[in-house]
Amino acid sequence: MDRACSDISILLVEDEHSFRAGLGGLLRDDGHEVLEYAEPAHLPPLATLGHVHLLLSDYDMPSENGLSLADRFHALHPAVPIILVTAYRTNHLDAEVARRPFVRLVEKPIPYDTVHALIHQLAI
């Protein structure tokens, strides 16, 4: 964890309000700038989000799944790593993530220390 939390901005997309609010609050408490959105449909144009250092997204969301969002975001910002979280891990999802070296998949519930360490490991 060489970089200060204040040097890592995070785009958080999660439809489950309590998870998003809790994780976003913890990240802010540690000094991260966090842009929170309830679902991909609420995001500003992805081209305007090049200043973020990491995308952290839920997989199962009503308007668009996290893999589709990851693909669209990666096409515009290929250097930005993506963490995908899910409570519904399947072999199909594992295979889809394996085809995308820019995505890391983690399973809910995830301890905050684990996600925070992963952010610092991956963030550009």
Radius of gyration of the chain (CA): 13
Domain definitions of the chain by residue range: 72-112
Beta strand 103-107 with 82-86: parallel, antiparallel or unpaired? parallel
Q: What is the pLDDT of residues 103-118, one digit of tens each?
A: 999 999 989 999 999 9
Query: Which CA distances in Å does 52 have to 91, 94, 95, 104?
Result: 30, 25, 27, 17
Percent of the chain topping pLDDT 90:
92
pLDDT of amino acid 28: 97
Burial class (CB in 10 A: 0-12, 13-18, 19+), 100: middle
Q: What is the pTM of this model?
A: 0.95
Quickly count: other Cβ atoms within 10 Å of residue 105's Cβ.
Answer: 19
